[in-house]
Amino acid sequence: MIDLFSGLDAWVLVSLLLALAFVLAFEFINGFHDTANAVATVIYTKAMPPHLAVFFSGVFNFLGVLLGGVGVAYAIVHLLPVELLINVNTGHGLAMVFSLLAAAITWNLGTWYFGIPASSSHTLIGSILGVGLANALINDIPLADGVNWQKAIDIGASLVFSPMAGFLIAALVLISLKWWRPLSKMHKTPEQRRKIDDKKHPPFWNRLVLVISAMAVSFVHGSNDGQKGIGLIMLVLIGIVPSQFVLDLNSTTYQIERTRDATLHLSQFYQRNSQSLGEFLALGKSVKGDLPEKFRCNPQQTEPTINALLDTLKGVADYHSLPSESRIEVRRYLLCLDDTAKKVGKLPGLAAREKDDLNKLRKDLTGTTEYAPFWVILAVALALGLGTMVGWKRVVLTIGEKIGKQGMTYAQGMSAQITTACMIGMANIFSLPVSTTHVLSSGVAGTMVANKSGLQGGTVRTILLAWVLTLPATVALSAGLFWLASKALGS
């Protein structure tokens, strides 16, 4: 790993280390900010002692990051428009990363301090959107092109609907448990259990389910939220040390050939569908403009881009053999071809089978650009896991006692945690970032309503207010910081 950073100017190396520290700090804060979501129920219900609950939650968060892949990481990265991603520039990359991280960290610390279960996912997404919009204003780019709005809509929908689904599903699970075992001790609160049964801990099977579901929430939290840190570090590395990280230099000859074959098959795909795509892609026509200098992706440059990529990769068996500038060009070509293919897939007239083929080609195209070195994954896993082991007390009380007018029963805790683990696990499968905080707290609220325990209006209003304000606040903060940083750099 060390040799990747050799030969860097001192200021670039310092900036890089500082940027990496910022990302890892964000993940550390994310760990203790979101820990309560996984351990609140097991601590509140006395299913596990706090120190054990927090320790094992940290371990499972760590494992979740290691085993979670990079799908969610690049879903976050691709919130930025492809034109911004191909504009590889050290100063620009520093301004972008520091702005969005400073905004995200500031909001996360503020909500944690006041014990508000706010979403780190929501915070990060708002910060990224702010940078994209500010970049559009600075460079006279239409706001419609300043952010990948389709990806933003997809992610926004998952953030909006997942709490609603969490509320409903957790309520239904609790109603099912009450119908199945109406007289069970799992419907007691810890306080009732202590007074009536003179027992400190939940019944054995309830305790087992609470512990297992809490660790499942920790694991899926790591595999979802941890990937956001991985995506941020890759933005840092590509922006500051592009020659070493724009492509996966550990790609095998087979992987490089697969990329080259996907490019060739993409050309054949377009030719095969030239009747419906010819005008959109300007097939058979020459379009002026040099892609690496323009930093723009134009569908009508698809044929020249394909030809340039095939020429550059001709005879290449190892990315190390490519000059630094050629690696940057290859990444730009691949990102633009993927962006155009995504747009083509949404055009009317293509058969479902053809769209399916196109999606498979896109995965092969980006196989050597959407990656993360193991040391990056390990660093994020450690930061999130260690962060999980501190700072949990402020939010546990909010989750356990302040959402409902009565304390949480064991059945409510199980219902909320099982729902959260399943929903975030499904989101991971579809590479969608969701908020562990919002899913769990809404799940708890759903069980309170289903249990006829009532909701504490003040706490619910505070959580909803944080949910509503997070996006505009982080967008404004990161946009302002990026504008100031860009002016300071003279860009």
Task: Give tens-digit pLDDT for 326-353.
Answer: 998 899 899 989 989 988 988 887 888 8
Task: Tell me the average pLDDT across 220-232.
Answer: 87
Task: Tell me the average pLDDT across 352-369.
Answer: 90
Task: Tell me the average pLDDT across 463-467.
Answer: 73
Q: Which of 335, 369, 93 is nearest to 247 (CA)?
A: 369
Task: Tell me the average pLDDT across 418-439.
Answer: 85
Identify which of 234-238, 242-246, 417-421, 470-474 has the greatest average pLDDT.
417-421
**Residues 358, 342 contacting (CB under 8 angstroms):** no
CA-to-CA distance for 375 and 383, rounded, in angstroms?
Answer: 12
pLDDT at residue 433, rounded to an integer: 80
pLDDT at residue 397, rounded to an integer: 54
Domain boundaries, the chain: 8-244+374-489, 253-366
Is the pLDDT at 422 greater than 70, yes or no? yes
Task: Tell me the average pLDDT across 405-433.
Answer: 86
Task: Tell me the average pLDDT across 436-443.
Answer: 82
pLDDT at residue 87, rounded to an integer: 65
Share of the chain above pLDDT 90, in %: 26
Global pTM value: 0.83
Query: Where residue 405 falls among pLDDT bands split at 50, 70, 90?
Result: low
Is the pLDDT at 317 greater than 90, yes or no? yes
Beta bridge partners of 148: none
Task: Give tens-digit pLDDT for 122-149.
Answer: 788 888 889 888 888 887 777 777 777 7
pLDDT at residue 395, rounded to an integer: 57
pLDDT at residue 319, rounded to an integer: 94
| Burial of residue 290 (number of CB atoms within 10 Å: 0-12, 13-18, 19+) | exposed
pLDDT at residue 125, rounded to an integer: 84
Local structure of 31: helix, strand or coil: helix
Share of the chain above pLDDT 70, in %: 86
Is the pLDDT at 377 greater than 90, yes or no? yes
Quickly list DSSP for 97-162: HHHHHHHHHHHHHHHHHTT----HHHHHHHHHHHHHHHHHHHTT--HHHHS-HHHHHHHHHHHHHH
pLDDT at residue 95, rounded to an integer: 79
Q: How far apart are the first and last CA of the chain?
A: 31
Higher pLDDT, 87 or 330: 330
Under DSSP, the state recorded for 284 is: T
Query: Where residue 291 falls among pLDDT bands split at 50, 70, 90?
Result: low
